[in-house]
Structures are given as structure tokens and as C-alpha cells.
Structure 1
Amino acid sequence: MVSQAQTHRGTNSAALTRLSVNAARMLGVPASGYAQLLGVAPEHLDDDRYRAPAATTNRIAELTTGHAHWSELALVLAQQPGLGTLGVWDYLITSARTPLEGIRDAAAYLATVVDPATDTLHIAEDGGQVTVTHHNRADVAHEAANAIRAGALGIYQRRLSDAAQRHLVPVRVTLTARAPRRLGSLTELYGTRAIAFEAPASSVTFLAADLRAPAPRAQPGLSAVLRSHAEQSLAAAIPLHNWLDLFRTALASVHDGAAPTLPAVAQRMNLSTRTLQRRLDEHATTWSHEVETVRRAHVTRLLRTTDLGIDAIAARSGYADARALRRAVQRWYGTTPHALRQAPEGG
């Protein structure tokens, strides 16, 4: 068991957050939908010491499945990352004596990539077959969950193929999702039509002989070095998950063109509304102040990055009409929406 894993419950690696952001970009999701989420700022996204809230990557997946089918997102998530994209975790698989030993190391150190509170990887040998099962229990919308689970299986398949230095075709794949009307993305992803849907768990099964064969990349003693490096990476990581950060991520995630409500955010955080208000008091802030801050950032971003009219921006920001929006911008900046739109950023 990885000694540092519990410290990082509720967070994912910066590498995984980058993977999610890149997939969103590739599938046409406007950056305005996720740029304000904790962990997406360049100083966090581009620094592998930081771990973003799992809520951030889950939200990006939800936004992406609003633009593309979950099977398309799974394909992009699995095909995008080259070897090393996910850091030391990738090399744990490809540098072990056999691919099977590598995926076992990857299961033990899964916390270097994903949230150890919600994600686990289980390896089962049954005679001539080995099944790799991914469990994800995150509080995320159904379509996004389908994409995350299916994409994870594709990444395991790709890394095992990297370890074997040849394309490994699964014996079968099982997915918890319902079968989509078109299987093209999934058959391209796994290289097989042997896919079962509405299964109890998401898994990919290989011939045991394929995973027990010596790995060409294996180097004596390297796996032990990589395991130590994985421990050190977890020890040095900086989790972005203090309570106020988590609250602001949850608040931003429910701000979808309408005024966010206290009950909706409380439900997202699995808290009662009374407890949520008490925690805000403890952090010297208020619900109205936090909502105003989110609205201000949202309105400012729409004014500076889109050509939407004032009426449309008001509607997307939870204001009754353009007049209410103009009053808010005057209060924040002492100017009009038109002048703010024309002013250079930072000015």
C-alpha cells in the first residue's frame, strides 16, 4: 500500500488534469466553461507538484460529454497520452520484468495519478486469462462516468502494449454503460468488437501469456527505483483541496447560465445547507459574496472572450435583464460593459 495515498484523497495529478483539459479542447469545449476551476490555472496545471481537486477533472468530463458522446471522449482520453504523459506511473508498467508485474505495480501506485478515495485497479488471474478491472465511485454525471471508465481501460491497454512493444488485443471488454447506437469509437479504442455492456464493472481481459512474457524494456532493479520515485512524488505533492477551495470549485461547477443555489452546492458537497453556511462563516465569507465573485468572473470572461450581446450575457449569468447586468458591472468596475469589453486586460 502506498504510504502517502491517503493524504491526497479528493485530488488528481496535474498530469491527469492536463489530459482532461486537452481532451476538452480537442472536442470543442469552450475554455470559459472550465478555466476558473481550481487546478486549471497555468501555475498549477503546468507544475507536476500540484494535485487538482478530483471535482475539477470530473467537471471537465461533464462539460465535454455535453459536446461529444461519452465514447468519443473515452477514445480521445486513451489515444492522446504518449508514454510518460502520466509520469512515473507509465514507467512502472513499461519497465517491469513482465507487463503483468508492471500493471500490478501500477495498481499499487494508482494514487500517483487519480483520486485514491474513488478509484481502484484490481488484477485477477484466471487460468489462461488476466482481467484488469477499474472501479470509479466518483460523484459525477452518468455520461461522464462512462467516459472516464472506458477511457481508463483504453489507457491500461495502451500501456500494456507499450510494455510488450506490440499491440495487445483484449480477449474481451466489459463496460458498465449501456451500448451506444454506434460502436465505432469503442471498437477503434479497443481493437475488438468483443465488448459487453451493462456489466457489473468495467474491465479488460487479456491472454495471460501476453502479460507474462518478458518485457523488452525491463531493466534489473529499475522497478524498485520507480516505486521509490512514486513514493517521493506523492510525498512532495501539493494537494489543492482546502475546504474553501473545494467549495469554490463546487460553486463554479453548478454555475451553468443560471444563478447557483445554496441547496444545489450543498448537495454537490454532500453537506446540509446549514452546515455549508456555518463553514462559510468559519472561513470569514458569505454565500452572497462568493456568488458575486463567481458572477463577476463569469461576466468578465464573457465580455472579454465572446461577441455575445449584453442581453445574452445577462441571461447566461443569472441576471434578470441587461439593466441589472449593467448595474453590476458599474458597481464592480465603475464603468459600462461596453467600456470593459474594449479595455485591454489588466487595464
Structure 2
Amino acid sequence: MVSHTHPGTTSSALARLNVNAARVLGVPAAGYAHLLGTAPEHLDDDLCRVPTLTSIRLAELMTLHTPWPEVALAMTRQSGTGSLGVWDYLITSAPTPLAGIQDAAAHLGAALDVGTDSLLVTEDNGQVVLSHLNAADMSHEGACAVRACALGLYRHRLGTAARRGLVPLRVTLATPAPRRHDALVELYGTRAIDFDAPVSSLTFLAADLTAPTPHAQPGLSAVLRRHAERTLATATVLRDWLDLFRTALAAVHDTGALTLPAVARRMNLSARTLQRRLEEHGTTWSAEVEELRRTRITHLLHHTDLSVEAIAARSGYADARALRRAVHRWYGTTPAALRTTGATPAALRSPGPAPS
């Protein structure tokens, strides 16, 4: 299991799937366009982690518009293989479908929120059971759609791996029985569906999941596991408005023209409103810019051979002298000493008086 799982967030790919399903179902965009993480620059960024609440709200909006079995089917239809990134390929590229779903369970955080979702794979008496638990706090109908969709995704990916339609022996859903089952029968390929179960699950013949994957490549699974881990380790996490602001701040900083009005425009706010929102979050424009520069400069000193002059120019300081004064203010040392020791900020002594 990877250590970087970012509880409280999902992949941007999952949010993108939900937005696409909402559009197909005719949910008015005005109902979700304001949600954190639904801006195109976040949905299209595969390194972005979107608040789980965004996907929950999207599911709830869809079930207000359409019965939940049809929502589950629509969500699954919007998730072709590859739409969930590396997590999909963990399943479809493993030596067997069973090995693939086991890898996917171990790296579930690459797509879902491990704070609310878990996938357990068990083998017994020639059968394999995939049990999915979703503990997110959402409306009844929204929870039904999410649980049903999760099983649909697993069945679809396993069928892609096997290169044939896999029909489960039985399906259990931790949901009350809906009025109509047609969409669920299409989703799972069977009418053997039990409702009001303790856990949502799919049961397959073990023989269906242990046959070699036709297009598996030796060693590819290990590469994909490492990629999933790196993706999570380098993710940009959006949990609240301040995360959104800091993402915009970093993006504008990288253009070389960092100003408050420029960041405000990127966030579709007035400069005055932006300042007020920062105050509401207990911070200021100058403090946020200072922290961004401190983080960037520390990284450049520790991980590059750039000169102090080059780092100053890249970080928005007038010259090397201004950067040296800033480093002393932060850490009580010089850029050269910071680079030599490679110490983390927490390991450095408290700053003393700034050099003249």
C-alpha cells in the first residue's frame, strides 16, 4: 500500500467522469460549476486531487434528476478503459485479471478516496469475491448510485483484461431494491442481484479470473505500480478554498508575472474580494507569496546547481542580496550554508538578526 493516499480527495479523473455523466444526464451546469475542482484546469490535470465532497455532490445532483440505477449505468458508460488513468491499467495489464484487481485494491487511492472507500478481494472454494465498502456521508440515492457504479467499473475492467464479457455468479448491493432493475441487469450482465446486503460485492468463478491475461507484458505491472505511487506522491491536493488559491498562485508565479490582480483574474475574483477571502482564512497576500518563495527557493538550493543569482531571478527577487536577506530571515543562515547542509527547515535554528 502506498503511503501517499490523500484521504478526503479523489483523482481528478473520477471527478471528470462524474461531470461527464452529469452532462449526459442533463444536469444543469449551474448546479455544480462552483464546486471545488470542477474548473477545466483541475479536471484536465491528472496530478490534481479533487475533494471527495465534489464527487459526492455530483452524484447527489444526478440522482435528483434521474433514478439511481440509471445514474450508475451512465457513470460506468462514461468510464472507458483508461479514463481512470494508471489505476485502470493496473487491472488490464497484469498477468491475470485476479492479479490486476488485487493490484487495483492495493492502489485504490490512485482513483478513489481511501478514507471512504475500500476494496477487499477474497478467494474461497473456487470463487473470488470483490467486496466494496463505501462509507461516505451522502444522500441515500447518491450512495446507491456510487456503490452500484463501483461494482460496474470492476466488472468492466476485468472483462477488458480477460478480453471477453465476464458475468458474475451473483451480485449483492448494500442498497434497497429499486422499482426497476433494467439498468442494473445491463450493468452486471445478470439478474442474480440481491439487495439490502451488508456489503456490495461481485462473485466470480476463480477460473474466470485466473486465466492468463491475453495481452499481459512481463514486468509491466511493477512499472505501473511505481507510476501509481509517484503520481500520488506528486499530486496537487485541493481540499478547500485556500488550496485552490495556492494552486492559482503557483501557476501565476511560474509565468514570471506574479501580482495579486493576476491571481484574482485567474480565480474570477476581484482583487479586493481575494484579499478579503485570504483574511477570512487567517492569512495575507504577502504571507502567501513569501511562503511560496521560501518553498521554491529551498527546493532549488537543495536539488539544483543553479547560482544564487539565477534562483533570485527565478523566484521574483530583485537580486542575490535580496534573496540572501530572505533566506537569513527564514532560517538564520546563508543560501550557501543551506545548500551545503541540505537541512530541512524544521532542522534549522531560529533566525537571528538579518545581515546588513
Q: TM-score, normalised by structure 2?
A: 0.68
1:62 aligned to which of 60, 63, 69: 60
2:205 aligned to which of 207, 213, 231: 207
2:88 aligned with 1:90, yes or no? Answer: yes
Give 1:282 deviation, angstroms. Answer: 6.5
Instruction: Give 2:137's aligned amino acid.
Output: D
Q: Distance in 2 between matches of 1:281 and 1:220?
A: 54
Give 1:281 deviation, angstroms. Answer: 7.9
The answer (yes or no) to whether the contact 2:91–2:157 under 8 Å persists in 1 is yes
Q: Distance in 1 between matches of 2:241 and 2:121?
A: 34
Query: Corresponding residue for 1:4?
Result: 4
Per-residue CA distance 1:251-280 (angstroms, 9 max, x = gap) = xxxxxxxxxxxxxxxxxxxxxxxxxxxxx9
Max Rg structure: 2
Give 1:241 deviation, angstroms. Answer: 1.0
- Written as runs of structure 1 = structure 2, the 5 A alignment for 1:97-136 is 97-136=95-134
Q: Distance in 2 between matches of 1:282 and 1:41?
A: 23
Secondary structure of the residue aligned to 1:40 is: coil
Q: Distance in 2 between matches of 1:91 and 1:230?
A: 10
Secondary structure of the residue aligned to 1:131 is: strand
Secondary structure of the residue aligned to 1:192 is: coil
Query: Corresponding residue for 1:51?
Result: 49
Query: Corresponding residue for 2:290?
Result: none
Query: Corresponding residue for 1:241?
Result: 239
Query: Corresponding residue for 1:222?
Result: 220
Per-residue CA distance 1:43-90 (angstroms, 9 max, x = gap) = 111111111100001001001100000100111111221111100000
Higher relative contact order (CA 8 A, sep 6+): 1
Q: Distance in 1 between matches of 2:194 and 2:226?
A: 38
The answer (yes or no) to whether the contact 1:93–1:101 under 8 Å persists in 2 is yes
Query: Corresponding residue for 1:180?
Result: 178
Per-residue CA distance 1:131-156 (angstroms, 9 max, x = gap) = 10111111111100000010010000
Q: Distance in 2 between matches of 1:105 and 1:142?
A: 30
1:21 aligned to which of 6, 14, 19: 19
- Written as runs of structure 1 = structure 2, the 5 A alignment for 1:162-181 is 162-181=160-179
- Written as runs of structure 1 = structure 2, the 5 A alignment for 1:239-318 is 239-242=237-240, 283-284=281-282
Query: Corresponding residue for 1:252?
Result: none
Q: Distance in 2 between matches of 1:243 and 1:38?
A: 7
Query: Corresponding residue for 1:81?
Result: 79
Per-residue CA distance 1:6-51 (angstroms, 9 max, x = gap) = xx11001010000000111111100000000000001111111111
Q: TM-score, normalised by structure 1?
A: 0.70
The answer (yes or no) to whether the contact 1:112–1:234 under 8 Å persists in 2 is yes
Give 1:244 deviation, angstroms. Answer: 5.1
Instruction: Give 1:228's aligned amino acid.
Output: R
The answer (yes or no) to whether the contact 1:110–1:116 under 8 Å persists in 2 is yes
Give 1:242 deviation, angstroms. Answer: 4.0
1:190 aligned to which of 188, 191, 212: 188
Give 1:107 deviation, angstroms. Answer: 0.2
The answer (yes or no) to whether the contact 1:34–1:60 under 8 Å persists in 2 is yes
Instruction: Give 2:50's aligned amino acid.
Output: A
Identity, % of aligned pairs?
A: 64
The answer (yes or no) to whether the contact 2:49–2:236 under 8 Å persists in 1 is yes
Q: Distance in 1 between matches of 2:240 and 2:16?
A: 21
Give 1:245 deviation, angstroms. Answer: 6.0
Query: Corresponding residue for 1:42?
Result: 40
Unaligned runs of 5+ in 2: 245-277, 284-356
The answer (yes or no) to whether the contact 1:79–1:189 under 8 Å persists in 2 is no
Q: Distance in 1 between matches of 2:222 and 2:120?
A: 21
Query: Corresponding residue for 1:259?
Result: none
The answer (yes or no) to whether the contact 1:38–1:245 under 8 Å persists in 2 is no
> How many residues get paired?
251
Secondary structure of the residue aligned to 2:60 is: helix
Per-residue CA distance 1:149-174 (angstroms, 9 max, x = gap) = 10010000000000000000010000
Instruction: Give 1:9's aligned amino acid.
Output: P
The answer (yes or no) to whether the contact 1:99–1:213 under 8 Å persists in 2 is yes
Q: Distance in 2 between matches of 1:170 and 1:78?
A: 17
Query: Corresponding residue for 2:291?
Result: none
Task: Name segments (4+ residues, structure 1) moved above 6 Å.
Answer: none
